[in-house]
Amino acid sequence: MKKPSKRTVEMRSEYDFTGGVVGKYAARYALGTNMVQIDPELVAAFPDSKSVNDALRALLAIANRTKARKRA
Protein backbone atom coordinates (compact mmCIF):
# COMPACT_ATOMS: atom_id res chain seq x y z
CA MET A 1 0.00 0.00 0.00
CA LYS A 2 1.41 3.38 -0.99
CA LYS A 3 1.68 6.23 1.46
CA PRO A 4 0.06 9.50 0.39
CA SER A 5 2.40 12.08 -1.05
CA LYS A 6 3.28 14.99 1.21
CA ARG A 7 3.76 17.48 -1.59
CA THR A 8 0.99 19.90 -2.40
CA VAL A 9 -0.39 20.17 -5.91
CA GLU A 10 -1.81 23.44 -7.15
CA MET A 11 -5.24 23.36 -8.76
CA ARG A 12 -5.10 24.15 -12.47
CA SER A 13 -6.96 27.22 -13.66
CA GLU A 14 -9.07 25.19 -16.16
CA TYR A 15 -10.71 23.25 -13.33
CA ASP A 16 -13.86 25.05 -12.27
CA PHE A 17 -15.69 23.63 -9.25
CA THR A 18 -17.66 26.75 -8.38
CA GLY A 19 -21.00 24.92 -8.84
CA GLY A 20 -19.80 21.71 -7.20
CA VAL A 21 -21.29 20.19 -4.08
CA VAL A 22 -19.05 18.37 -1.60
CA GLY A 23 -20.22 14.81 -0.89
CA LYS A 24 -23.23 14.99 -3.21
CA TYR A 25 -23.23 11.23 -3.88
CA ALA A 26 -21.42 10.06 -0.72
CA ALA A 27 -24.52 8.66 1.02
CA ARG A 28 -25.65 6.74 -2.08
CA TYR A 29 -22.15 5.34 -2.59
CA ALA A 30 -21.87 4.28 1.05
CA LEU A 31 -25.05 2.18 0.80
CA GLY A 32 -23.42 -0.21 -1.66
CA THR A 33 -19.96 -0.23 -0.12
CA ASN A 34 -18.48 -2.11 2.78
CA MET A 35 -14.80 -1.24 2.89
CA VAL A 36 -12.56 -3.08 5.31
CA GLN A 37 -8.85 -2.53 5.74
CA ILE A 38 -6.70 -5.51 6.67
CA ASP A 39 -3.34 -5.30 8.38
CA PRO A 40 -0.28 -5.25 6.11
CA GLU A 41 1.02 -8.59 7.37
CA LEU A 42 -2.22 -10.26 6.22
CA VAL A 43 -2.03 -8.91 2.67
CA ALA A 44 0.37 -11.69 1.64
CA ALA A 45 -2.06 -14.35 2.87
CA PHE A 46 -5.14 -12.63 1.42
CA PRO A 47 -4.08 -10.84 -1.79
CA ASP A 48 -7.61 -10.31 -3.13
CA SER A 49 -11.23 -10.15 -2.05
CA LYS A 50 -11.95 -13.73 -3.18
CA SER A 51 -9.36 -15.17 -0.80
CA VAL A 52 -10.70 -13.05 2.07
CA ASN A 53 -14.28 -14.11 1.35
CA ASP A 54 -13.30 -17.80 1.10
CA ALA A 55 -11.49 -17.65 4.46
CA LEU A 56 -14.38 -15.87 6.15
CA ARG A 57 -16.90 -18.39 4.78
CA ALA A 58 -14.77 -21.26 6.09
CA LEU A 59 -14.53 -19.58 9.50
CA LEU A 60 -18.28 -19.01 9.57
CA ALA A 61 -18.93 -22.66 8.73
CA ILE A 62 -16.68 -23.76 11.60
CA ALA A 63 -18.40 -21.33 13.98
CA ASN A 64 -21.85 -22.57 12.96
CA ARG A 65 -20.81 -26.20 13.47
CA THR A 66 -19.47 -25.36 16.92
CA LYS A 67 -22.74 -23.62 17.86
CA ALA A 68 -24.78 -26.62 16.66
CA ARG A 69 -22.69 -29.02 18.77
CA LYS A 70 -23.12 -26.88 21.90
CA ARG A 71 -26.92 -26.85 21.49
CA ALA A 72 -27.20 -30.63 21.07
First to last CA, the chain: 46
Q: Give every CB contact of residue 40 below 8 A, 6+ residues apart in sequence.
A: 1
Whole-number percent of the chain with pLDDT over 70: 93
Given a cut of 90, is residue 63 above it in pLDDT?
yes
Convert the pLDDT of each residue in 23-50 to its tens digit. 999 888 888 878 788 899 998 899 898 9
**Cβ pair 41, 33 in contact under 8 A:** no
The predicted pLDDT at position 67 comes to 80
Which pLDDT score, from 0 to 100, does residue 34 have?
80
Contact criterion met (CB below 8 Å) for 49 and 58: no
Tell me which of 6 and 58 has the higher pLDDT: 58
Look at residues 62, 34, 58 and name the one whose alpha carbon lies nearest to residue 46. 58
